[in-house]
Structure 1
Amino acid sequence: MIIKNNSTRLIITLSFLLIFPFVQKQWFNLYLFNINNVSFYSILYYLSGTICPFLISLNSFNNYTHYKFNNNKDYSKNLIKGRALFFLVAINLIFLSYLVSYYFYINFDLITNLFLKGIQISQPNIFQLNLFIFLISMLLIFKKYRIFFKKLILVNFCLISFFIWFMQINNIKIDDQFHIHRYYGLENINLINVFILLVIEIAYFIWSFLSYKSNLSDWMVQLPQKGDMNPILNILIFYLFLIFYYSVIM
């Protein structure tokens, strides 16, 4: 029943994402007829840029945060433990922590370039970055902080999406002063935002699997069983539709 409900919500969300870009374009065309005055359609068009990020975050939190896995450790030949588990845990935890810190930095860079142009803020040095990654890694070990960071990540996604939308409707040129453009060199920075969130979602899922219940305290993880990897497929399908959506609206 839970799987069926999740699938139904996913289908509804994806259907909305398929249709909404065309509705949004119609609102924009109607807005152009009366561009010099505030109208109902201009308000709809301005607000439309906030709808999808909110729905994306809501869907992600509801469906890609609280994972449940099979946890049968009766068969020792199907267990990951010892040095192999150490490398998996270390690599995934450091990678996820780096992605989170980097994603926050992108948002910080957008804010400073958009609203704090007169203030020169230096980038964090290697020591500061490593310290930040270490602190995040320590907190991600605990489930409540892992969920807390997932909320922060989704808030960060919404804020970046809002800032990008703000730049688009105000015709602010996105150039190399913005890290997200300078580093990737892609004009459609919405796609960059979505892609980073996708990679974080996958890393978060893997970390949720490795740290599920008593896996870390027992220092053994059951190899993925049937159904354990289904969320990965759902994530990929969902984000492919997001890529389509943000490709259409540009």
Structure 2
Amino acid sequence: MKAKKRAIKYLMADSFYFKQKGYCPCCDKDVCFESRSSWLRDYFLCNNCQSIPRERALMLVIEKYYPNWKDLDIHESSPGNRGASLKLRNNASKYLASQYFPNKPLGTKVENWLNEDLEQQTFRDESFDLVITQDVMEHVYNPEKAFFEISRTLKKGGAHIFTVPLVNKHKKSEIWATKDNHGKPIFINKPEWHGNVVDPNGSPVTMHWGFDIVDFIEEKSGLKTIIEHIDDLKYGIRAELIEVLVSQK
């Protein structure tokens, strides 16, 4: 009987299916959003551009705060190959993308990317109207330096618009990993890794952020931060950890 219940539970989980017609803010088309997993954050896909909910939410927030984004100086750190990153790259005339290759000189081109470390950027002060990061700030070892550098490179009136999983919610943010003298992670808690576009080994999770990230950013960089939470199925936006943060200078 127990085995039968386990089998039924497995089949129910395996047969999850959710479909919703709507409009995708990333490819600007009427589409269907579909998921075969209950974890919508990573699997509720646009059937045209394969964007996921947080990417669509990010684009809506960019459009809300900076409707003229196509004409702005934009730096995106660690972009993906779809969704919001693709839309920004294809439509913003002054879009610049960077990745981080720790063993290569900063500020140089590596594999068609500009090599930049968020913690010690080579850009001049007030270079950008917008800095975009998508699920990046949970992977930096010194977030205070990264947020300060982002603020330094922003023009007055500009903003860092980003997604980051606020897994701790109302609990205090936690350091999840530090690094040794060779740049390797030392996990304080259970090891966690996320995918990385330029590194098949992935990126270690270094922070578990909570809503107190707003205070951390202001203390370390002076930027005021707003947390936007969107739940709107007509845009295919429904998931856990869907917040978009806007830190304005």
Q: TM-score, normalised by structure 2?
A: 0.22
Q: Which structure would you say has the larger Rg?
A: 1
Larger RCO (CA under 8 A, 6+ residues apart): 1
TM-score w.r.t. length of structure 1: 0.22
